[in-house]
Amino acid sequence: MSSPTFTLIDENPQKTIDEVLIEQQSHSERLLDKPMEKGFSFKFDYVATIGKTGHEGNGHDEFNRPDDVIITRDRYLIVADKENERLQVFIEDYSLIWKYFTTIKTPQVKPYCLELKESESGEETLWVLGDHSNQQVLKFSNISQFISDINNGKETKPEQVDKKTSGSFVNFQFSITTDKFKGWSIRSEPYEHELEVYGADFEMVFKYAKDKGSGPGNDQLYVPCGSCIDYKHGHFLIW
């Protein structure tokens, strides 16, 4: 599988993510070679609701400020149930509807943002970032096995990684996107109008920001709150 490109449109993809990131690391003046086309849209069809609608709580299928969700390769859907200081795990039943499966407690850590990274052996590690009030990172190695152990009543705990440095990875994070080819994590930093790129262990690699907060020009960022990689078409999307 080849590395995807970093352009925002379908036509004539020009550069791979690696090439673009290397360019930026060398202080290149431009991230994208073509202006973004206006007027494109996405359409999503409603399928189902997870949890009890219109109801805040701490029971099964109830949430209090669910701030992120992620799906593992083994089809576990994990919800960051922030104010309840826990992760709720769901699985698909025969009718393809998500059903409650188990709960992973994260005492004194309010899970705010989730990220999965896959090792060369195929095992997925789940990184759970706490919100700015505690600035903690939890690492769940082999998350599928961890979920199975929890569901079977086995006592097990994640690794806790302290990241309290000022301006660190967990300071008001809004979105994290993984480049699965390099293992880099790309974080949106809305208050600094920039993207931050981190390595495999969340060490800072470099930042991308051009004319910070200056406006709507091509490849300029203003309060970027999220991003994702469309591997099928080779797009990197920022919103």
Statement to judge: residues 107 and 133 lie in one domain? yes
Domain, as residue range, for 89: 59-164
Stretch 14-40: mean pLDDT: 46
What's at 212, amino acid-wise?
Answer: K
207 with 230, same domain: the answer is yes
Confidence category of residue 199, pLDDT binned at 50, 70, 90: confident
Instruction: Tell me the pTM.
Output: 0.68
Alpha helices in the chain (DSSP H): 17-25, 143-151
Whether the per-residue pLDDT at 11 is higher than 50: the answer is no
The residue among 135, 164, 193 that closes a domain is 164
**Taking the CB of residue 212, how many other CB atoms lie within 10 A of it?**
11
pLDDT at 22: 52
Q: Are residues 82 and 100 in the same domain?
A: yes
Lowest mean pLDDT among 1-5, 187-191, 215-219: 1-5
Query: Which tokens go with 217?
Result: 């020009």
Query: Could you tell me if residue 52 is inside a domain?
Result: no
Position 182 confidence tier, pLDDT thresholds 50, 70, 90? confident
pLDDT of residue 178: 77
**CATH number, position 160:** 2.40.10.500
Residue 9: pLDDT band with limits 50, 70, 90: very low
Say whether both 187 and 148 belong to one domain: no
Average pLDDT over residues 37-66: 75
The answer on 153 and 65 residing in a single domain is yes
Q: Check if the beta carbon of residue 21 is closer than 8 Å to that of residue 4.
A: no
Q: How confident is the model at residue 146 (pLDDT cuts 50, 70, 90)?
A: very high
Mean per-residue pLDDT over the chain, rounded: 73
Q: Give the total number of structural domains in the chain.
A: 2
* pLDDT for residue 27: 36
- Strand 98-105 and strand 66-71: pairing? unpaired
| One domain, residues 105 and 182 | no
Phi and psi of 192, rounded to 5°?
A: -105, 0
Q: Is the pLDDT of residue 2 over 50?
A: no
Residue where a domain stops, chosen among 118, 142, 164: 164
